[in-house]
């Protein structure tokens, strides 16, 4: 079900890890950001948009993780965009049908096994490098590209609606997940991204994370501060009192602690490998 979070902006939440799709009304239809996740949910999303008389005129993927690259035939054949680096990464990771089959196999151990449509996975067009606005006939949407979490990751600022679509950042249930394989300094890349989001936070009334709860104006700077504290803790080798990990984690999200431990171990291995100390 679509839930309005600002004038002309709606969010559709999936049951799978609280994945958020965002629809933004333009003059001729909607821009659809990160639609997902199961076929039934995508069909429901398409139905709700059709019932409201809002055709999909464009799509955008905030980054190249599979759950942000989905589509459904009922959503139509509108152009689907991502940053240049995001699209290049998709071409590397999903070059053929065998790659899509590997994604499907990866999901066999989850509760959505066999429910995710793969035929239109990853069919996005990279915008020219350095593009700062989504090309569509609707409210101006600023692209804030950075290298936190995944190559070519982009947050989107719908400026006159006061909405920040954060991609896989600023979640109340997921800790920051660093791009440990694709960047030389994942800690600094993440801190740089948080500074970019902080630069626009003063004009934000609603923050929509890729996964988790939509936050109001009081949550924007608080989530940036929480994510910064977590990342700095990773750099120091110890994270204390983050409610997203440990006994305080939300029921059903206990696995986030394993993600956290994996990041600590990976970063410790980097430090040992290059001879640096924390």
pLDDT at 1: 84
What stretch of H or E contains 85?
Answer: helix 84-93
% of residues, the chain, pLDDT over 90: 91
Give the lowest-confidence range in 199-208, 252-261, 267-276.
267-276
Confidence of residue 278 (pLDDT cuts 50, 70, 90): very low
CATH number at residue 131: 3.60.15.10
Mean residue pLDDT across the chain: 95
SS (H, E, C) 215-236: EEHHHHHHHHHHHHHHHHHHHH
Q: Would you place residue 26 in the very low, low, confident or very high pLDDT band (cuts 50, 70, 90)?
A: very high
Q: Which residues pair with 215 in a beta bridge?
A: 207
- Find the domain containing 192 and state its range: 2-274
Q: What pLDDT sits at residue 277? A: 47
Count of beta carbons in the 10 Å neighbourhood of residue 92 = 11
Please tell me the distance from the alpha carbon of residue 98 to that of residue 148, in angstroms, as a whole number: 28
Query: Rounded to whole angstroms, how far apart are CA atoms 27 and 57?
Result: 10
**Would you state the pLDDT for residue 36?**
95
Query: In this predicted model, what pLDDT tens digit does every residue of 212-263 receive, in sequence order?
Result: 999 999 999 999 999 999 999 999 998 888 999 988 898 999 999 999 999 9
pLDDT value, residue 60: 98
CA distance 242 to 257: 10
Quote the distance between the C-alpha of residue 200 and its chain's center.
18
- Rounded Cα–Cα distance for residues 83 and 61 (Å): 8
- Total structural domains within the chain: 1
Q: Sort residue 29 into left (φ over 0), alpha (ψ -120 to 50) or beta.
A: left
| Coil, strand or helix at 265 | helix
At 207, list the tokens.
Answer: 């923050």
In percent, the amount of the chain with pLDDT more than 70 equals 97
The SS3 of residue 133 is: strand
Q: Which residues contact 8 (CB under 8 A, 6 or more apart)?
A: 24, 25, 139, 161
């Amino acid at each position: 079900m679509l839930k309005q979070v600002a004038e002309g902006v709606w969010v559709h939440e999936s049951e799978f890890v609280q994945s958020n799709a965002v629809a933004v009304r333009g003059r001729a239809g909607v821009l659809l950001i990160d639609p997902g996740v199961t076929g039934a949910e995508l069909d429901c999303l398409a139905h709700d948009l059709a019932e409201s008389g809002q055709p999909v005129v464009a799509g955008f993927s905030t980054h190249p993780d599979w759950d942000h690259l989905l589509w459904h035939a009922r959503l139509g054949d509108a152009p689907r965009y991502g940053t240049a680096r995001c699209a290049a990464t998709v071409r590397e990771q999903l070059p053929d049908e065998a790659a899509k089959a590997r994604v499907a196999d990866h999901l066999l151990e989850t509760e959505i096994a066999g429910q995710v449509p793969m035929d239109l996975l990853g069919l996005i067009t990279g915008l020219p490098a350095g593009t700062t606005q989504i090309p569509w006939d609707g409210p101006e949407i600023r692209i804030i590209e950075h290298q936190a979490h995944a190559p070519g990751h982009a947050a989107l600022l719908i400026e006159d609606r006061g909405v920040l679509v954060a991609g896989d950042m600023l979640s109340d249930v997921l800790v920051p997940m660093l791009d440990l394989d694709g960047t030389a300094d994942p800690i600094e890349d993440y801190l740089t991204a948080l500074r970019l989001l902080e630069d626009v936070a003063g004009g934000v009334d609603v923050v929509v994370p890729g996964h988790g709860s939509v936050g109001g104006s009081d949550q924007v700077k608080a989530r940036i501060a929480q994510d910064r504290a977590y990342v700095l803790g990773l750099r120091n080798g110890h994270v204390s009192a983050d409610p997203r990990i440990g006994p305080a984690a939300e029921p059903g999200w206990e696995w986030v602690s394993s993600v956290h431990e994996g990041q600590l171990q990976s970063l410790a291995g980097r430090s040992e490998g290059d001879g640096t100390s924390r």
